A and B are shown apart, each in its own frame.
Chain A
Amino acid sequence: MTKRRTWLYFIPYGLWLALFVIAPVALIIYQSFFDLGHHFTLGNYSAYFQSATYLKMTLNSVWYAFLITLFTGLISYPTAYFLHGLKHRQLWLLLVILPTWINILLKAYAFIGIFSQAGLANQFLSFIGIGPQQILFTNASFIFVATYIQIPFMILPIFNALDDLNPAFINASQDLGASGWQTFTKVVFPLTLPGVKAGVQAVFIPSLSLFMLTRLIGGNKVITLGTAIEEHFLTTMNWGMGSTIGVVLIIAMVVVMLLTGDQKPKGGTPR
């Protein structure tokens, strides 16, 4: 009887998975094997892997996603560490998360205002005597805005990992004579690494296929796979090729997941 009940509880979850996770992925994979005339083909894949353009674009995407993740991590870890030590840390954390409630498009437009020729950033540069610079449509501004948007997604898991960290470890480390730096590198950082990995997953993967920012902030000077997918679905209506690129992205994501995934420690997680 109870066994049957448990099985029933699984139904909504199972349905959800099947409809919104498995079915779309299956559809994308299915679509990727068809050409413009709806004939079964492997041509999309051979076209992808033989095209210097697509390979270069893939490299580009990975490179920019890497840079974005790197900068996000460099900013997020100290921030999370600092926030964690504050008194009203839940409130501060809420303030960090707050920007994610605002639509990404609005944030992009806000940055257009800040970075434009007559924008705030250039007014400041003129004020301190450097004079207006071209900020919009540069790779740097693209990485800056993408990093800004991704930061909360990195801070959150790191913050949680720090929260989970048993203070007894830190005390023990200090009692045994480790310096602050040693405590951090030998105890705190290794134990919060799962948080960093979760953050990397949450940032790197979406960064691979950013396309709105590449146009709005990057002026299409940065071309990622997202740009190509958008073009294939909206302009050329070559859904097969678009899906193929989608499949490549999915595979890239699986690879990232595997690389950053938790290897189960043999003796169970230390607490």
Chain B
Amino acid sequence: MKRLISIIVALLAICGLLGYSSDRLQASSGSTGSHVLNLYNWGDYIDPNLLTKFQKETGYHVNVETFDSNEAMYTKIKQGGTQYDLAIPSEYMVAKMKRAHLLKPLDQQKLTGWHNYDPRFLNQSFDRGNRYSMPYFWGTLGIIYNDKYVQASEVQHWQDLWSPKFRDKIMLIDSARDIMGMALITQGQSMNATDPATLSAAEKKLNELAPNVKAVVADEIKMYMIQNEAPLAVDWSGEAAEMLANNPHLHYIVPSEGSNLWFDNLVIPKTATHTKAIYAFLNFMSEPQNAAQNAKYIGYATPNKAAKALLPRSVRDDQQFYPNQQTLQHLQVYQDLSPAKVQLYNDRYLEFKMHH
């Protein structure tokens, strides 16, 4: 008993010491001080060198915390108790946060970099006039194929995936909105359709795809495709960029008949306190030099026109990630749907997963 008590005391002492030192560390790096910026970002979604550069130029230290889904980020900000100054939600989540009054409007007076952005990526349906959000990266949904097993000509359109020759060959990203959206596009419908009959038809269409579906997986898709586990996958351009960088046999196609156009955007949550640092950072990230450096590091498409011009020709002319005007015109941005409609999408999708 005596020994047990001494062990417990020792453990408590260690915990106390650790707690104290972490508190000291926090104070020195200053998550609560005035010369900081608390950035809430996806994992590995900013060039760390830029953060160092930002601190050197402006004196603000950036604390980065990460999330792995829009919903997780939403819940955390909504429940309060956080100190985030900037967050990077996807476009539908911007609309949702706006409606839940979780965002502060951007003070346009303090922003100096708007002229660098491509107007095609501004003023979108989820945030007219960019009152709350500044685009960070954009991308598409498309088909990744492995040229060892599949010819480019065989997969130019979504409908090609339904071909019987691709039996048990396709991996799908586990996302209700995207996979249902793919079926909707294939049937010539809008990716924002909410009519139950249309969605049921889309599910039927997906059920026909089931024999070709090898697996419905999430992030692991990258690993599988890099290891040649499957010849075909449906995934986002951002994920595709990473796969292509690791396996020269992989290619990415955005079907010209249409696909999703997604945006990740910088927004200011209600919890923000370091106003000066926020605008310093937004302006810093709008500078072509910095945006280009970030785009090179992340490999996603930048909405910053001036930054794109600074990228190597091989990158900015790459039709895989900067599709031509004709394809761009057919891309659709997801609208924020009401919870009931989201449920409808997910129910149909779950039924498809049960089916296959």
Q: Do A and B come from one complex?
A: yes
Q: Are A53 and B339 in contact (CB under 8 A)?
A: no
| A228 B350 Cβ-Cβ under 8 A | yes
A46 neighbours in B (Cβ, 8 Å): none
Check if B343 is an interface residue, CB within 8 A of chain A: yes
- Evaluate contact between B217 and A215: CB separation under 8 angstroms: yes
B227: which of A117, A137, A231, A241 is its contact (CB, 8 Å)? Answer: A117
Q: Is A237 at the interface (CB under 8 A from chain B)?
A: yes
How far, in angstroms, from A238 to B347 measured CA to CA in the complex? Answer: 12
A136 near B346: Cβ-Cβ < 8 Å: no
Contact B71 A221 (CB under 8 A): no
**Is A223 part of the contact surface with B, judged by Cβ < 8 Å?**
yes
**B window 152-173: CB within 8 A of A:** 168, 171
A260 at the interface (CB under 8 A from B): no
Interface string of A191-231 (1 = CB under 8 A from B): 00000000000000000000000011001110100011001
Encoded as 1 (CB less than 8 Å from any A CB) or 0, chain B from 196 to 222 comes to 000000000000000000111110100
User: Which chain B residues border A60 with CB–CB below 8 Å?
Assistant: 354
Minimum CB–CB distance from B206 to chain A (whole Å) comes to 13
Give A116 to B228 CA distance when docked, in angstroms.
Answer: 9
Contact between A53 and B347, CB atoms less than 8 A apart: yes
Instruction: Determine if B39 is an interface residue (Cβ-Cβ < 8 Å).
Output: no
B249, CB-defined interface residue at 8 Å: no
Q: Are B216 and A220 in contact (CB under 8 A)?
A: yes
In the bound assembly, the distance between CA atoms of A5 and B72 in angstroms comes to 45
Total CB contacts across the A-B interface at under 8 A: 72
Nearest-CB distance from B1 to chain A (Å)?
14
Whether, in the assembled complex, B5 has its beta carbon less than 8 Å from a beta carbon of chain A, the answer is no
Chain A residues within an 8 Å CB radius of B356: 221
Q: Chain A, 230-258, contact with B by CB distance < 8 Å: what is the 0/1 string?
A: 01001111100100000000000000000
Look across to chain B and name the residue whose beta carbon is closest to the beta carbon of A118: B227
A36 an interface residue at 8 Å Cβ cutoff? yes
Q: Are B220 and A231 in contact (CB under 8 A)?
A: no
Find out whether the CB atom of A235 lies under 8 angstroms from the CB atom of B215.
no
Q: B71: which A residues are within 8 A, CB to CB?
A: 234-235, 237
Q: Given A117-B228, A219-B215, A234-B69 in contact, is the A53-B174 Cβ separation under 8 Å?
A: no
Determine if A53 and B343 form an interchain contact, defined as CB atoms under 8 angstroms apart: no
List A contacts of B118 (CB < 8 A): none
The docked-state distance in angstroms from the alpha carbon of A220 to that of B174 is: 9
B229 within 8 A of A: yes
B14 within 8 Å of A (CB atoms): no
**Chain B residues closer than 8 Å to A220, beta-carbon distance:** 174, 215-217, 353
- Which residue from B69, B168, B216, B351 sits with its C-beta under 8 Å from A134? B168
Q: Tell me whether A219 and B217 are in contact (CB under 8 A).
A: yes
- Residues of the B chain whose Cβ atoms lie less than 8 Å from the Cβ of A237: 71, 75, 339, 342
Are B354 and A53 in touch, CB under 8 angstroms?
Answer: yes
Q: In the complex, what residues of A have CB within 8 A of residue B4's CB?
A: none
Interface of B is mostly: helix
Chain A residues with CB below 8 A from B354, complex form: 53, 56-57, 60, 223
From residue A246, how far is it (CB to closest CB) to chain B in Å?
16
Contact B342 A219 (CB under 8 A): no
For A56, the chain B residues whose CB sits under 8 A away are 354
Residues of the A chain whose Cβ atoms lie less than 8 Å from the Cβ of B340: 36
A178 within 8 A of B: no
B216 with A219: CB separation less than 8 A? yes
- Asked if B214 and A137 sit within 8 Å, CB to CB, the answer is yes
Pairwise interchain contact A236-B220, C-beta atoms closer than 8 A: no
Cβ contact within 8 Å between A215 and B218:
yes
**B171 nearest in chain A by CB position:** A219
Residues of A within 8 A of B343 (CB): 36, 236, 238, 241
Which one, A117, A216, A236, A238, contacts B217 given CB within 8 A? Answer: A216
Closest to B172 in A: A220
A228 to B354: give the CA distance in the assembly, Å: 11
Knowing A57-B354, A116-B229, A134-B168, the reply to whether A236 touches B215 (Cβ < 8 A) is no
Answer whether residue B62 sits at the interface, using C-beta atoms and an 8 A cutoff.
Answer: no
Q: Which of A110-153 contact B (CB under 8 A)?
A: 112, 116-118, 134, 136-137
Nearest A residue to B354 via CB reads A223
State whether the Cβ of B176 lies closer than 8 Å to any Cβ in chain A.
yes
Per the 8 Å Cβ criterion, residues 307-356 of B in contact with A are: 339-340, 342-343, 346-347, 350-351, 353-354, 356
Q: Given A137-B215, A235-B346, A237-B339, are A112 and B220 also a contact pair (CB < 8 Å)?
A: yes
Nearest-neighbor residue (CB-CB) of B74 within chain A: A237
Closest residue of chain A to B227 (Cβ to Cβ) is A116
Complex CA gap A45/B214 in Å reads: 33
Instruction: Please indicate the chain A residues that have their CB under 8 angstroms from the CB of B227 in the complex.
Output: 116-118
> Measured between alpha carbons, how far is A134 from B215 in the docked complex, in Å?
12
Residues of A within 8 A of B229 (CB): 116-117, 136
B114-134 vs A: 1/0 string, CB under 8 Å?
A: 000000000000000000000
How far apart are B297's CB and chain A's nearest CB, in angstroms? 26
Cα–Cα distance between A219 and B221 once the two chains are bound (Å)? 10
Bound Cα distance A136, B343 (Å): 30
**A36 in contact with B350 given A117-B229, A215-B218, A220-B215 (CB within 8 Å):** no
> Restricting to A85-105, which residues have a CB under 8 Å from any CB of B?
none
Smallest Cβ-Cβ distance to A60: which chain B residue: B354
Query: How distant is the Cα of A135 from the Cα of B217 in the complex, in angstroms?
Result: 16
For this complex, 7 residue pairs linking A to B, each with C-beta atoms less than 8 Å apart, are A53-B350, A136-B215, A220-B174, A223-B354, A231-B346, A235-B71, A237-B339
8 additional A-B residue pairs with CB within 8 Å, beyond A36-B343, A235-B176, A237-B339: A60-B354, A116-B227, A118-B227, A134-B214, A136-B229, A137-B214, A216-B217, A238-B339
| Residues of A in contact with B (beta carbons under 8 Å apart) | 36, 53, 56-57, 60, 112, 116-118, 134, 136-137, 215-216, 219-221, 223, 227-228, 231, 234-238, 241
Q: What 3 pairs between A and B have smallest CB-CB spacing?
A: A219-B215, A220-B216, A137-B215
